[in-house]
Structure 1
Amino acid sequence: MQATSTVDRPEALAQTASRSWHKAIKDLSHGFSQRQLWAHLGWQDIKQRYRRSVLGPLWITIGMGVTAGGLGLMYSTIFGMDASQYVPYMTVGFMIWYFIQGCLSAGTEVFIQNEGLIKQLPAPITIHVLRTVWREFLLFLHNFVVYFIILAVFWTTISPHLSWRIVTVIPALALLVVNGGWVVLLFGVASTRFRDIPPVVNSLMQLLFFMSPIVWPIEKLEEHAGPRAALAQINPIYHFVEIIRAPLLGTDQQWHHWAVVLGITAGGWLLALFVLRNYRARVAYWV
């Protein structure tokens, strides 16, 4: 008879005992119920980053403002566009991208970096997911201040296009945050098992940025690429950017972006819950 390793036995027993949808949903619901814990940890992450800094988290807003002003004026000249139209376009795109990038990058390290807490604190692993998403959302809110500054600077250009449709930015941001949850959970579990995933994701991040309409306007792609511009539709980031950027800038919304985002949300969470059901108990052994 083949002997079972004493090292693998606890992991195997824990894996078998925890494979149920009830325990996966329970882990998720208990994580949400401990809001004070993950909210406090997420805020402490930001405070720790700017410890002993005079301006503290305001450096996040300043950095976003410098990026919007410097790159906006430069690229508006390169693309031959009016700065009053291009700078707001690029600024909102960067704000959304920073949130997506943060969830992808931090998601690959979420359980690895919290090894001590996972092994010593008897808490749902989704607490670390919620902590990460909450931290990235706080960073997004700091960057969002720049939008109001840009709005004030280019008020005469943007204000005529704004309408009641700007309220759709609220469900759009909610969808962005909800998708950040399954991204962090899915990549977090996968990266804990396969340590090659974090460097692969970080290597592809720059490529993903340049393939998304953050800096370059989608109209320029359609102008020069013709029918091939339709390939941009297969980029999921494009749809997330559009459902938020369009109402903030008062441009026409194409509702198929919402359909794609809702489909990604449903599919992503189904996959993440499947991974949570089958591998949540192994995370403590993999870290």
Structure 2
Amino acid sequence: MTFGAAWNDIVRGFKQHELWLQLGWQDIKQRYRRSVLGPLWITIATGVMALALGLLYSVLFKIPIAEFLPHVTVGLIIWNFISGCIKEGSDIFIDNEGLIKQLPSALSVHVYRLVWKQALFLAHNLVIWVILMMIFPRPLGWDVLLIIPAMFLLVINGVWVVMFFGIIATRYRDVSPLLEAGTQLLFYVTPIVWMTSTLQSQSAEIGNRARLAELNPLYHYLEIVRAPMVGADLPAYHWWIVLAFTFVGLGLALLAMKQWRFRVSYWV
């Protein structure tokens, strides 16, 4: 078991794209089987949640709805992708026990399958953002093109999150419920239904405490995607923090693949 063998599994799994693309699409079709609206329920559910939270908290924080609703909506869209990778990723190998034992494919195929499915959910939900930009138009400029590398980084991080936590949670089954509880907690401490700028303007003491949000890495992941989408300023340090976590995460995933890849089929 070497890093070369682990890397070969990752590459071989990516090359089997026809398999995981089809499996990921099949997952969505199976989920909404016999449904009239089908995958549109993904967009409807996210849109209703964003509208409810946006209206409520815009009143509580006394923020104009035209400013706050896009902030909440884009935050929820990105959060759904992140939380989906974390929570479903922890069970990815357990849920695919039959395929792992019977299908002669790379282990990473199941990782790409889940990330692809979450990416499709994300693409569906981006329709809400387009509608919001038509209702509340704002000058986006060329900075909107930063969405492309930001989304790319988001997907890459989704891969290592699913791969790493999937292996760990397969070995230690208590990790999955722990991750689910932790993800729920992270939702409240991540600026999705609240804004750091609002807290910073309240008072000096609260403003300084608001900076603690920057200790949360998910805040930076949200910002590199959300800021270009809502026309906000994006300091460069957000990118550097995300890149650092990306490299560290990929290293952890590669290490996990090296150490335990061959044991997953026995653990499931």
> What does residue 262 of structure 2 align with?
281
> What does residue 165 of structure 2 align with?
187
Question: What are the superposed Cα offsets for residues 86-125 of structure 1, whole Å, 9 maximum, x if unpaired?
Answer: 0001000000100000000011100000000001111111
How much does 1:147 deviate? Answer: 0.2
Out of 221, 240, 250, the position equivalent to 1:240 is: 221
The residue identity in structure 2 corresponding to 1:209 is F
How much does 1:36 deviate? Answer: 0.5
> What does residue 231 of structure 1 align with?
212
How much does 1:43 deviate? Answer: 0.6
> What does residue 7 of structure 1 align with?
none
- Structure 2 matches for 1:98-247, cutoff 5 A? 98-155=80-137, 159-160=138-139, 162-224=140-202, 225-247=206-228
How much does 1:221 deviate? Answer: 2.5
The residue identity in structure 2 corresponding to 1:259 is W
How much does 1:229 deviate? Answer: 2.1
Out of 73, 76, 86, the position equivalent to 2:68 is: 86
Quick check: 2:196–2:211 contact (8 Å CA) kept in 1? no
Moved runs in structure 1, 4+ residues, more than 4 A? none
CA distance in 1, matches of 2:199, 2:56: 19
In the alignment, structure 2 segments of 5+ residues that lack a partner are none
The residue identity in structure 2 corresponding to 1:197 is V
CA distance in 2, matches of 1:134, 1:268: 19
CA distance in 1, matches of 2:174, 2:47: 34
How much does 1:220 deviate? Answer: 2.0
CA distance in 1, matches of 2:49, 2:106: 38
How much does 1:68 deviate? Answer: 2.0
CA distance in 1, matches of 2:255, 2:199: 38
The residue identity in structure 2 corresponding to 1:149 is I
The residue identity in structure 1 corresponding to 2:150 is A
CA distance in 1, matches of 2:40, 2:207: 42
If the length of structure 1 is used for normalisation, what is the TM-score?
A: 0.91
Based on CA coordinates, which of the two structures has the bigger radius of gyration? 1
Give SS of 1:112's match: helix
CA distance in 2, matches of 1:152, 1:91: 14
Question: What are the superposed Cα offsets for residues 222-268 of structure 1, whole Å, 9 maximum, x if unpaired?
Answer: 23422222211110100000001111111111110000000000000
CA distance in 2, matches of 1:121, 1:85: 50
CA distance in 2, matches of 1:234, 1:124: 36
CA RMSD of aligned residues (A): 0.8
CA distance in 2, matches of 1:217, 1:88: 12
The residue identity in structure 2 corresponding to 1:191 is A
Give SS of 1:111's match: helix
How much does 1:173 deviate? Answer: 0.4
Give SS of 1:240's match: helix
If the length of structure 2 is used for normalisation, what is the TM-score?
A: 0.97
Query: Matched residue pairs, number?
Result: 265
CA distance in 1, matches of 2:160, 2:199: 31
